């Protein structure tokens, strides 16, 4: 399995709004993407479907993103829980569709 890496630095992310903004910048979500967990899951689930236009960064069916997260231990619980929940939901969608998970987490300080 081939891996592409995206780094999410949580050092300046103190609330959900700033998390949504940062993920939108990293993944290139469309302007109409809402700032809520469901919209985040929908957009991030589109990484293997460029024709949907939900992200500007995409992977093929046999690829996976390595989401490198810096500073997770020091992040507020709301941020930690949201990131873990979103990745779980996105990966579960792919598993239900008989595909490999789209995201692997790499936690670094």
Q: What is the mean pLDDT of residues 78-94?
A: 97
Segments making up each domain of the chain, as ranges: 2-108
Q: Label residue 1 by pLDDT band (50, 70, 90).
A: low
| 9, 32, 57, 66, 79 from 105: Cα distances, Å | 13, 27, 17, 6, 15
Q: What is the pLDDT, as a whole number, of residue 19?
A: 97
Is residue 40 within 8 A of residue 103, CB to CB? The reply is no
Q: What is the mean pLDDT of residues 25-50?
A: 95
Q: Does domain 2-108 have CATH number 3.30.370.10?
A: yes
Q: What is the mean pLDDT of residues 79-89?
A: 97
Q: What is the mean pLDDT of residues 11-33?
A: 95
* pLDDT above 70 as % of the chain: 98
The predicted-structure confidence for 31-41, as pLDDT tens digits, reads as follows: 999 999 999 99
Nearest by Cα to 90 from 99, 80, 102: 102
Nearest by Cα to 35 from 45, 48, 15, 20: 20
- The DSSP result for 49-77, as a single string, is -GGG-S-SS---TTEEEEEEEESTTTS-H
Q: What is the pLDDT, as a whole number, of residue 2?
A: 62
Q: What is the mean pLDDT of residues 61-83?
A: 95
Q: What is the mean pLDDT of residues 9-27?
A: 96
Dmax over CA atoms of the chain, in Å, equals 37
């Amino acid at each position: 399995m081939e891996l592409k890496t995206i780094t999410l630095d949580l050092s300046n992310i103190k609330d959900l709004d700033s998390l949504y903004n940062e993920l939108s910048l990293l993944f290139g979500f469309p302007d109409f993407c809402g700032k809520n967990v469901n919209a985040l899951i929908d957009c991030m689930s589109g990484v293997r479907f460029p024709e949907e236009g939900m992200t500007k960064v995409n992977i093929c069916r046999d690829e996976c993103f390595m989401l490198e997260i810096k500073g997770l231990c020091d992040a507020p619980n709301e941020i930690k829980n949201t990131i873990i929940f979103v990745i779980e939901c996105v990966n579960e969608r792919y598993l239900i569709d008989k595909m490999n998970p789209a995201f692997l987490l790499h936690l670094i300080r």
